[in-house]
Amino acid sequence: MHEPYLFAMPGKQILVAVLLVWAQGSLRAQPVDVVVNEVDTLKRGVEVVSLRELREHMTVVPGVGHEVPGMDLMAECGPVHSALDAPIHAGRELVDSSWAKVVGADRDSLRSADGVHWVRLHLIAGPELKDAPLLLRVVSGVPFEVFMNGVRTGGIDGAPHWVGNTLLPRSDSLPVVEVPVRFAADGQVEVIALRLLGAPGSSLRRSGLRATLHAADRAYAVQRTTFHYGIFIGINAIILVLSLLIWMDDKRDRGWGLLALLSLASVLATVAEIGGEQRLLGLQDGTAAVFDAFATVLIPWPLFLLIMVLRHLRGDLTAQRARRFTWTVVAMTLTLLAFVVATRAGLASAQDGLTFTDTSIPLVVGALLGGLVLSIGMGWFTIEVVRSGIRLLRSGGTERWVGAGAVASLLLTLLLQVVSEFSGMAVSGWLSTLADYCAYVAVPVSVAVYLGIRSAHHNRLVARQRDELDAEVKERTAELRAEKERSDELLLNILPAEVAEELKSKGAADAKHFDEATVLFTDFRGFTQLSEQVGPAELVQELNACFMAFDAIMGKYRIEKIKTIGDAYMAAGGLPDPTHGGPAEVVHAALEMQDFMRQHKAERIAAGKPYFEMRVGIHSGPVVAGIVGVKKFQYDIWGDTVNTASRMESSGEVGKVNISEATYALVKDTQKVNGDWSIANGGPAHSTTPIHHSPAFTFTPRGKVQAKGKGEMAMWFVERAA
């Protein structure tokens, strides 16, 4: 397979570049057409044809439109021509040294009176060609016959569009016939004789004769070549897309951009090769020549970009080194461009080494300088690839895969190609294909492995970081939840739940008016005298014990504690939720508070310690509740109801619960249902099927009692009913 100049093939790039200048060991001028002195055919140098040559050498085949593996017999096998017609001209033993040389069909003006022309081709077939199926491809504008060592093997009759019973496709171009041939391969000169039947008086050049020899599997070889090119282009295209996507995601990493350019250069070089020199894209000659020129100019760029990628992965691609590499590749590109221009202008040719039609000193000096630039540049680039690849290979990181691919593509490809040249045909073809795959695929596969390992490592790192982050988030969430619960609990100790929620959602709480609230006040008698008998710590401890018990009772009956003022305790029912803490609940809570104080008094007396006694006052009426201020705020209530409740407490007696006329009116009809109590006036009952009703409280009227600042007010002592 004829390889394009991919980045994975720096060795072949070097060989191609050097051969452009130093092919066949020296520069030589283009020879003119010269006919060697005629000698005996068997003593002349005759072309030796091998199966390997037929498969590896390329020749232009008219009617196909591209180069295919094979041999141009008219150029390689010393064709000779006679305008005389005789059957013995087909024989193998005929000595044709006196025949005219066919140095170019367009130069042969020998005419035939009857229009018959004989052309003989001489070659020696290698031993591997014995009985091997081969195809002789003949292009002719006139009918012809083909003889192999004197035996007729095929041809076309007077109707040029028929071969035997097979219809030939006809077009404006010359008809093409493929004739199967077999060689004796006995080490002797073999002769292919062509008998052409032209018009009387016509010359050989009017026939447009061309003859090429191919292996029978030529078509399959072209298909295999196309298949391999498709694989190579596909692999590099995939790397190109992946590199572009990664680079677009993180443009700070220039390495991915360089890798994308490297893959792009590889794809362009391959397409230019198969469209130019290989002629596998079906392009017109002019367009194919442009592709071929582009492939030549592009030779140093894949190797240059590979160096840039390797240097970037090593982390030592400084601006100064990048400029050196860039100037070198530009110089090589200009040199190759000058060579392309020279060949297109007819001043030079690379068909058989680098030859010149003009041997002027400026042209030769320019060629020497160009060869020196290419040799130094490609040599330097090769050393850089090997050195950078080995250093990456020894780095131990994931980048070593790219280094391994670069070294393998360079050294392994050259090694396999060298071994292939000295191997047998069967082994040589296999080694050549293996070398091609090492050359084309080594770096792309190594890059794919690098990307895969890097991606897997990145995914593991991301997964680990995600797990660590999840654990940390859970831990922080638990801490925040605990802190929130503590904050909420602290806030609920200060504010009612409804007010706290409003404060958290709005940042403020609006004051609200309640038409019916029941306010409770307590006060300890003799607090000042007791404070003189006990220490401050014991006094505070005693207050705390009482207030904690009161708090529990308030929670039991869903009554809102408002605040404590010194030794006074203030609570209210019916707010902030009017359905909680009705008047009866407040009265019942007050009676439980007195029960606690009596029990606590007995415990203190038993312990020989001073004790508290308490008065409780209750009043019902409208209030305004809310929060005042922004610092150390607390939930409070205002209104005349609060003042009146305070007067109920101060007008009461120790151990008693003193209620106002307004409260009395709300609780006087409270009854016990099934041994418990409920509110008669629409309050919730604890049983939907009452069996027995009885009064819940007993009241002792006190008549009109003088209240400070209020005058005389009707009051009642309330107790539980028996």
Helix (H), strand (E), coil (C) string for 371-437? HHHHHHHHHHHHHHHHHHHHHHHCCCCCCHHHHHHHHHHHHHHHHHHHHHHCCCHHHHHHHHHHHHH
Q: Report the percentage of the chain scoring pLDDT > 90.
A: 13
pLDDT at 186: 87
Among candidate residues 297, 248, 243, 245, the one with its CA nearest the CA of residue 268: 297
Token pair recorded at residue 362: 């400026």
Most confident of 30-34, 141-145, 306-310, 374-378: 374-378
Domain 497-720 belongs in CATH node 3.30.70.1230 = yes
pLDDT digit string (tens) for 538-594?
A: 888 888 889 999 999 998 898 988 888 888 899 999 888 888 888 999 999 999 999
Alpha-carbon distances, residue 523 vs 355, 536, 546 (angstroms): 124, 18, 11
Mean per-residue pLDDT, 606-614: 84
pLDDT at 496: 73
pLDDT at 457: 80
Q: How many residues does the chain have?
A: 722
Alpha-carbon distances, residue 702 vs 144, 600, 714 (angstroms): 150, 28, 7
Query: Which residues lie below 8 Å from residue 267, measured CB to CB, with a gap of 6+?
Result: 233, 236, 237, 240
pLDDT at 218: 66
pLDDT at 658: 93
Judge whether residue 421 has pLDDT over 70.
no
pLDDT at 266: 83
How confident is residue 679, by pLDDT bands cut at 50, 70 and 90?
very low
> Read out DSSP for 616-679?
EEEEEEEEEEEE--SSS--EEEESHHHHHHHHHHHTS-TT-EEEEHHHHHHHTT-EEETTEEE-
Distance, in Å, from the CA atom of 66 to the CA atom of 76, rounded to the nearest integer, reads 19
In 10 A of CB 462, how many CB atoms?
11
3-state secondary structure 179-208: EEECECCCCCCEEEEEEEECCCCCEHHHHC
Judge whether residue 469 has pLDDT over 90.
no
> Read out DSSP for 223-238?
HHHHHHHHHHHHHHHH
Phi, psi dihedral angles at 571 (to 5 degrees):
-145, 165
pLDDT at 358: 65
**Contact indicator for 397, 311 with CB cutoff of 8 Å:** no
pLDDT digit string (tens) for 147-193?
A: 988 888 865 544 333 333 333 333 344 467 788 888 888 888 999 99
**What is the dihedral sign for C-alpha 39, 40, 42, 43?**
negative
**288-292, 622-626, 690-694: the lowest-pLDDT one:** 690-694
> Read out DSSP for 68-110?
EESEEHHHHS--EEE-S--GGGG-SS---TTSEE-S-TTT---
| Residue 353 β-bridge partners | 351
Judge whether residue 657 has pLDDT over 90.
yes
pLDDT at 678: 47
CA 625 to mean position of chain CA atoms: 63
Distance, in Å, from the CA atom of 429 to the CA atom of 679, rounded to the nearest integer, reads 108
Alpha-carbon distances, residue 175 vs 121, 352, 438 (angstroms): 20, 29, 41
229-254 CB burial, b ≥16 within 10 A, e <16: beebbebbbebbebbbebbeeeeeee
Mean per-residue pLDDT, 360-388: 84
**Contact indicator for 554, 682 with CB cutoff of 8 Å:** no
Choose between 412 and 181: higher pLDDT.
Answer: 181
Query: Which residues lie below 8 Å from residue 653, measured CB to CB, with a gap of 6+?
Result: 615, 717
Distance, in Å, from the CA atom of 676 to the CA atom of 681, rounded to the nearest integer, reads 16
**Complete edge-to-edge strand list for the sheet that includes strand 676-678:** 676-678, 671-673, 693-695
CA 232 to mean position of chain CA atoms: 21
Alpha-carbon distances, residue 146 vs 108, 438, 589 (angstroms): 21, 43, 130
How confident is residue 40, by pLDDT bands cut at 50, 70 and 90?
very low
Mean per-residue pLDDT, 445-462: 77
Mean per-residue pLDDT, 117-128: 89
Mean per-residue pLDDT, 518-542: 82
pLDDT at 104: 58
Let me know if 696 is exposed, middle or buried by CB neighbors in 10 A (0-12, 13-18, 19+): buried
| Residue 444 β-bridge partners | none
pLDDT at 120: 92
Choose between 565 and 34: higher pLDDT.
Answer: 565
Alpha-carbon distances, residue 427 vs 108, 128, 152, 343, 419 (angstroms): 43, 14, 35, 36, 9
Judge whether residue 10 has pLDDT over 50.
no
| Residue 697 β-bridge partners | 720
pLDDT at 645: 92
Per DSSP bridges, beta strands 657-660 and 613-627 are: parallel
Distance, in Å, from the CA atom of 626 to the CA atom of 510, rounded to the nearest integer, reads 6
Token pair recorded at residue 505: 């959602």
Alpha-carbon distances, residue 363 vs 16, 232, 341, 569, 621 (angstroms): 20, 38, 13, 116, 120
pLDDT at 721: 84
Judge whether residue 518 has pLDDT over 90.
yes
Query: Which residues lie below 8 Å from residue 94, measured CB to CB, with a gap of 6+?
Result: 88, 120, 191
**5-19, 170-184, 667-681: the lowest-pLDDT one:** 5-19
pLDDT at 331: 92
Average pLDDT for the chain: 77
How confident is residue 7, by pLDDT bands cut at 50, 70 and 90?
very low
Domain boundaries, given as residue ranges, for the chain = 39-216, 223-396, 497-720
Q: What CATH number matches the domain at 39-216, 2.60.120.260, 3.30.70.100, 2.60.120.10, 1.20.120.550? A: 2.60.120.260
Let me know if 464 is exposed, middle or buried by CB neighbors in 10 A (0-12, 13-18, 19+): exposed
Q: To which residue do tokens 């009241």 refer?
A: 699
Judge whether residue 676 has pLDDT over 70.
no
Three-state secondary-structure class, residue 66: coil
Judge whether residue 16 has pLDDT over 50.
no
Query: Which residues lie below 8 Å from residue 393, measured CB to CB, with a gap of 6+?
Result: 400, 403, 404, 407
Token pair recorded at residue 370: 């160009």
**What is the dihedral sign for C-alpha 81, 87, 92, 97?**
negative
Q: To which residue do tokens 């008669």 refer?
A: 680
**Contact indicator for 679, 638 with CB cutoff of 8 Å:** no
pLDDT at 592: 93
Q: To which residue do tokens 């095929």 refer?
A: 154
Phi, psi dihedral angles at 495 (to 5 degrees):
-125, 155
**115-119, 292-296, 689-693: the lowest-pLDDT one:** 689-693
Judge whether residue 412 has pLDDT over 50.
yes
What count of Cα atoms within 13 Å lies in the side-chain half-sphere of residue 467?
Answer: 5
pLDDT at 595: 92
Choose between 505 and 296: higher pLDDT.
Answer: 296
Distance, in Å, from the CA atom of 302 to the CA atom of 11, rounded to the nearest integer, reads 12
Q: To which residue do tokens 């031993």 refer?
A: 127
**60-74, 441-455, 474-488, 585-599: the lowest-pLDDT one:** 60-74
Judge whether residue 9 has pLDDT over 60.
no
pLDDT at 291: 86
**Contact indicator for 559, 586 with CB cutoff of 8 Å:** yes
pLDDT at 100: 86
Q: Report the percentage of the chain scoring pLDDT > 70.
A: 80
Distance, in Å, from the CA atom of 309 to the CA atom of 280, rounded to the nearest integer, reads 31
Distance, in Å, from the CA atom of 364 to the CA atom of 190, rounded to the nearest integer, reads 41
Judge whether residue 684 has pLDDT over 70.
no
Mean per-residue pLDDT, 91-106: 79
Most confident of 40-54, 66-80, 559-573: 559-573
Angle 164-170-171 (CA atoms, 0-180°, nearest 5)? Answer: 165
Query: Which residues lie below 8 Å from residue 286, measured CB to CB, with a gap of 6+?
Result: none
Backbone conformation region of residue 187, classed left if phi is above 0, alpha if psi is from -120 to 50, else beta? left
Most confident of 25-39, 342-356, 483-497: 483-497
In 10 A of CB 396, how many CB atoms?
8
Residue type, 368: L
| Residue 348 β-bridge partners | 356
* For residue 576, cis peptide bond before it (omega within 30 degrees of 0): yes
Per DSSP bridges, beta strands 48-49 and 116-125 are: parallel
